[in-house]
């Protein structure tokens, strides 16, 4: 076989920024990897606050006679829990943390294309988080308008936090969106323009496809939230009436008049529904890679997986009004959105089939990342199927605003993506820290989180069916609806929730403990093919790759290739350099 010429790198080397002081190296760093860690730690910190809020709410629901928090506080906690988890934790983690860490490494770049902008993006995000957090300590406290912030009640008297909480929430969202746009520009352009030689779009791992499509969605969807936040700020501060109809409060006519609360709902959900996929698509991508790696098999139907990601992304913009079936909209309108909602289930189901077919006859290693992936598949399937219920107008109307909805969205966009995030952290922890996470603690964490989540959310479906409404501080004298068995079930759910919460503390402990005491990770411990594991140092240093950028010769899924001695061929290894297994003259060709 002739020695093929390895093409020289044609990419002009980008001048890398080199920090000049401790501050610019460790704090105001322009290195995407450090920015990723900053994003991750900030998101986890504020996410932990949201988790603790949920404990208080659960204790209140299970033991209303204790009155651990007041009615107003309950609404404030519900609002902050929802908004923090969806925007400040999940979006920031998937795009800010995983996006920043993985994009340059996986496409073979030294850093993001606009490192300075990338740094500003993080600090803007931090300001957004702080502005939100400060609202806990302002007079009146944070807003209690529910995470959807529906007007008119969000800015009217009687809603907790209508003094300053709502203003800080809207300002914080605007800052977040500005910061995200800066990061988003980086992610998209780095993926399009800074890939290494040989890395075509279709050779990129699905993780990058997921993050890329989600970022594009976010760049289109977040402006809708920005628009609604700005207009509501005008309504609150300048007494305009964009969203405010004529109102009578305590027998007094307010100056508002003629605004449309439904307009807000349209704008909010035009952002809100793509937001689900902004969180889900990176999770889909990451889970595809993790399954392929830990089952030692190429991903089943790679092209279809890419098409599904792109297709879901496009469809996600024409389903938003399925969140508004009870807003009194035209039934034909509802019919249209029910149809598109059911259509989006097709590419989504396709992905689930492909994950299962990847596992089929794979060499499945039940590592912790794989456990989380398996947990994700069933959880996402469960949450997705209840989505089909709620996507139909006639089923949604009676179930709307019950615990069934709470169970649905926690399964599909709470637990499912979080399982992927956790799996991904166990998977990439050796890359980021050079150490392995403690296996025993990890397995304990997985089983308690996975089983516990089901103990929390399965009974909630039942509560929803019998009609228990969401967002109620206590059920009072409503025995006909809220039977004693439902009350017992709520106690059970609360105990499960606290147990799952405890398991997360074990995880946090494991993260810090293993960074110091963990077993030193061997190079590329999971034997993966993608470029992030091909850096000369592990963890990768500033500039990621050595003197030369890697050159890519194959897609990211060459696992168990017939004829190769190892069961994986990294992306930057040409065919000629693959060690052949005994009895083979070429990859895939047996000696005769």
Partner 1 sequence: MSILSILSQKPWTSDQAKIDDKHSGKSSSMPLPRIGLYVLMTVIGVLFTLFSVAYIGRMAYGDWRILPEPPLLWFNSLIIIMSSFAFHKATISSKENNHKRTREYLFLAGALTLGFITGQLFVWRELVSFGYFVSTNPSYAFFYLLTALHILHLLGGLIAWLLVIFKSFTLEDESSNFSLNVNLCAIYWHFLLVVWLVLFAMLLLT
Residues that bind partner 1 (CB under 8 A): 7, 10-11, 107-108, 113-114, 181, 184-185, 188-189, 192-203, 219-220, 223-224, 226-227, 230-231, 234, 238-242, 255, 257-260, 263, 267, 270, 298, 302-303, 306-307, 310, 552-555, 557-558
Q: Measured from the CB of residue 161, what is the shortest distance to partner 1 in angstroms?
A: 23
CB 110 within 8 A of CB 14: yes
In this structure, what DSSP letter does residue 279 have?
H
What values do phi and psi take at 433, rounded to 5?
Answer: -115, -15
List the end-to-end C-alpha distance of the chain, in Å, as a whole number.
16
Q: Measured from the CB of residue 431, what is the shortest distance to partner 1 in angstroms?
A: 22
Q: Measured from the CB of residue 493, what is the shortest distance to partner 1 in angstroms?
A: 39
Q: Which is nearer to partner 1, 285 or 384 (CB)?
A: 285
Q: Measured from the CB of residue 524, what is the shortest distance to partner 1 in angstroms?
A: 21
Comparing C-alpha atoms, which of 108, 111, 124 is closest to residue 30? Answer: 111
Comparing C-alpha atoms, which of 563, 553, 560 is closest to residue 583? Answer: 563
Report in angstroms the alpha-carbon separations of 207 from 87, 213, 238, 492.
20, 10, 44, 37
Percentage helix, strand, coil for the chain under 3-state DSSP, each rounded to 5:
65, 5, 30
Tokens representing 513 are 């403990």
Q: Which is nearer to partner 1, 220 or 462 (CB)?
A: 220
Comparing C-alpha atoms, which of 28, 189, 212 is closest to residue 124? Answer: 28
CB 490 within 8 A of CB 61: yes
Q: Which is nearer to partner 1, 51 or 231 (CB)?
A: 231
Q: Which is nearer to partner 1, 303 or 361 (CB)?
A: 303
Q: Measured from the CB of residue 572, what is the shortest distance to partner 1 in angstroms?
A: 11
Q: Which is nearer to partner 1, 303 or 547 (CB)?
A: 303
Q: Measured from the CB of residue 386, what is the shortest distance to partner 1 in angstroms?
A: 30
Q: Which is nearer to partner 1, 182 or 420 (CB)?
A: 182
What is the spatial distance between Cα 246 and Cα 425, in angstroms, rounded to a whole number? 51
Q: Measured from the CB of residue 19, what is the shortest distance to partner 1 in angstroms?
A: 21
Q: Which is nearer to partner 1, 63 or 333 (CB)?
A: 333
What is the spatial distance between Cα 450 and Cα 452, in angstroms, rounded to a whole number? 5
The CA-based angle 56-57-61, given to 5 degrees, is 120
**In which region does residue 412 sit, left (phi positive, over 0), alpha (psi from -120 to 50) or beta (all else)?**
alpha
Q: Which is nearer to partner 1, 197 or 527 (CB)?
A: 197
Other CB atoms within a 10 A radius of the CB of residue 385 amount to 14
Q: Measured from the CB of residue 307, what is the shortest distance to partner 1 in angstroms?
A: 6
């Amino acid at each position: 076989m002739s020695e093929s010429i390895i093409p020289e790198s044609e990419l002009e080397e980008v001048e890398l920024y080199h920090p000049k002081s401790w501050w610019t190296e460790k704090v105001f760093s322009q290195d995407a990897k450090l920015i990723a860690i900053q994003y991750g730690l900030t998101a986890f910190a504020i996410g932990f606050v949201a988790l603790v809020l949920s404990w208080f709410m659960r204790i209140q629901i299970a033991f209303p006679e204790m009155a651990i928090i007041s009615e107003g506080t309950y609404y404030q906690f519900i609002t902050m829990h929802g908004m923090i988890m969806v925007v400040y934790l999940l979006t920031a983690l998937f795009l800010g943390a995983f996006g920043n860490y993985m994009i340059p490494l996986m496409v073979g770049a030294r850093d993001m294309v606009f490192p300075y902008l990338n740094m500003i993006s993080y600090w803007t995000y931090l300001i957004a988080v702080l502005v939100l957090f400060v609202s806990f300590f302002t007079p009146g406290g944070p807003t209690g308008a529910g995470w959807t912030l529906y007007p008119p009640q969000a800015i009217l008297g009687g809603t907790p936090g209508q003094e300053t909480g709502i203003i800080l929430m809207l300002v914080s969202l605007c800052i977040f969106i500005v910061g995200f746009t800066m990061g988003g520009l980086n992610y998209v352009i780095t993926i399009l323009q800074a890939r290494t030689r040989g890395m075509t779009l279709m050779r990129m791992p699905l993780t990058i496809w997921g993050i890329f499509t989600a970022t594009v969605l976010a760049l289109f969807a977040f402006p809708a939230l920005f628009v609604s936040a700005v207009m509501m700020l005008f309504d609150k501060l300048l007494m305009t009436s964009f969203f405010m109809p004529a109102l009578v409060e305590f027998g007094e006519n307010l100056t508002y008049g003629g605004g449309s609360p439904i307009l807000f709902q349209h704008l909010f959900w035009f952002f809100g529904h793509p937001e689900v996929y902004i969180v889900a698509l990176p999770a889909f991508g990451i889970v595809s890679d993790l399954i392929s790696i830990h089952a030692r098999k190429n991903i089943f139907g790679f092209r279809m997986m890419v098409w599904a990601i792109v297709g879901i992304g496009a469809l996600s913009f024409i389903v938003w009004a399925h969140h508004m079936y009870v807003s009194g909209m035209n039934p034909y309108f509802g019919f249209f959105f029910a149809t598109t909602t059911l259509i989006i289930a097709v590419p989504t189901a396709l992905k689930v089939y492909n994950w299962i077919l990847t596992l089929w006859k794979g060499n499945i290693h039940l590592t912790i990342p794989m456990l989380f992936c398996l947990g994700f598949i069933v959880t996402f399937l469960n949450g997705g199927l209840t989505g089909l219920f709620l996507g139909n107008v006639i089923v949604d109307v009676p179930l709307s605003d019950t615990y069934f909805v709470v169970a649905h969205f926690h399964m599909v966009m709470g637990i499912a993506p979080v399982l992927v995030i956790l799996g991904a952290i166990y998977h990439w922890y050796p890359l980021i820290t050079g150490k392995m996470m403690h296996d025993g603690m990890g397995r304990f964490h997985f089983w308690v989180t996975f089983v516990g989540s089901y103990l929390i959310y399965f009974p909630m479906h039942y509560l929803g069916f019998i009609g228990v409404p969401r967002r109620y501080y206590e059920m009072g004298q409503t025995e006909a609806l809220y039977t004693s068995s439902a009350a017992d079930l709520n106690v059970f759910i609360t105990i499960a929730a606290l147990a799952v919460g405890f398991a997360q503390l074990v995880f946090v402990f494991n993260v810090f403990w293993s960074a110091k005491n963990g077993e030193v990770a061997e190079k590329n411990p999971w034997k993966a093919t993608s470029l992030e594991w091909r850096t000369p140092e592990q963890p990768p240093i500033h500039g990621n790759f050595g003197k030369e950028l890697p050159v890519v010769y194959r897609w990211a899924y060459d696992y168990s290739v017939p004829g190769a001695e190892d069961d994986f061929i990294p992306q930057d290894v040409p065919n000629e350099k693959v060690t052949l297994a005994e009895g083979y003259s070429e990859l895939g060709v047996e000696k005769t």
